[in-house]
Structure formats: C-alpha cells, structure tokens
Structure 1
C-alpha cells in the first residue's frame, strides 16, 4: 500500500512472489493462488498492481485463462 508523508505518497517496493519464493507453483489447478491475481470483476490484475515480473505475469495470465476454460475460476463475477 502507499504511505502519506508530507504531501506525497510513497508506495512500497513490489517484489515478485514467484521469484522470491520458488516453492509457489503457478498452475491452472491451483485456484487459491490464482484468485489473488484477478480483481472483483474477474479481470486479470496488471503487473503494476500485483508486483510480479514480466515472465511470471505471462505464466499467471495463461494459467488464469486455462482455469477459466475448465470452470475453476469465473469469467465474470456478479
């Protein structure tokens, strides 16, 4: 999140969770991990919000699309 300090907002440094922790697996079957990368309307969150690197953002996007296709994640939420 961002902190207010003297008229300016400073955001914390975003570190890719998948680069920092090699044990987290990006898989379309792992819906609990993928839920963190979609917003309340069902869209895939951009890198600037999640802090993932470009390599892992591509893998996350493909996994979310695969999970949607087999109905593990919704396309849209109501």
Structure 2
C-alpha cells in the first residue's frame, strides 16, 4: 500500500525540474572601454525598467561590483533630474 502513494512534495504534486540557463556576462567587464557615469543616461536606461525600477543583477547580468556602480549612477542621475524616479502618469 505504501508504494501506491504520490510523492510527498507540495500537496502531492510531482517535483519540478529546474532549468539552468547560461549566465549573461557583465558587459562592463567584457568591454573595458565602457564606463559607468551618471551623466550617460543612454547607457543607464538599459538597467531601468519601463516603470522606473532598477533591473536586478540576475536579469542584467552585471557582476556585483559593476551593479553597485550602476545603482549609484542611476540614483545620482535621478537626484539631478536626468532620469525619472517612476513612470510618467498619463491622464485620459
């Protein structure tokens, strides 16, 4: 009888398989000519969502050191109004 039981994970469902994808490489480590500067808004906008949130490291592919520098540059650009804090509000 004990062999007929379902697996004991998550309410009897079968365990899921994790899919591992290859990590993106840090674009700043790969190309030493690229710099992180709060005045270069074109570079920084790739690390911000449409809603104005900073993209996490696991999505952007940055290394920890460069992600900290990107985060700091985005915050500086926001404070001097080069970048928005949030998405624009449209009234219909």
TM-score (norm 2): 0.72
In the TM superposition, structure 1's runs of 4+ consecutive aligned residues that sit over 2 Å from their partners are 7-13
Establish whether residue 48 from structure 1 lines up as the match of residue 58 from structure 2: yes
Query: Does the residue aligned with 1:45 lie in a helix, a strand or coil?
Result: coil
1:15-54 Cα deviation digits (max 9, x unpaired): 0000000011100000000000000110100000000000
Matching of residues 12-31 of structure 1 within 5 Å: 12-31=22-41
Query: Which residue number in structure 1 is paired with residue 11 of structure 2?
Result: none
Alpha-carbon distance between aligned partners in 2 of 1:10 and 1:56, rounded to the nearest angstrom: 23
Q: Choose between structure 1 and 2: higher strand proportion.
A: 1
Alpha-carbon distance between aligned partners in 2 of 1:26 and 1:59, rounded to the nearest angstrom: 7
Which structure has the larger Rg? 2
TM-score (norm 1): 0.85
Query: Does the residue aligned with 1:32 lie in a helix, a strand or coil?
Result: helix
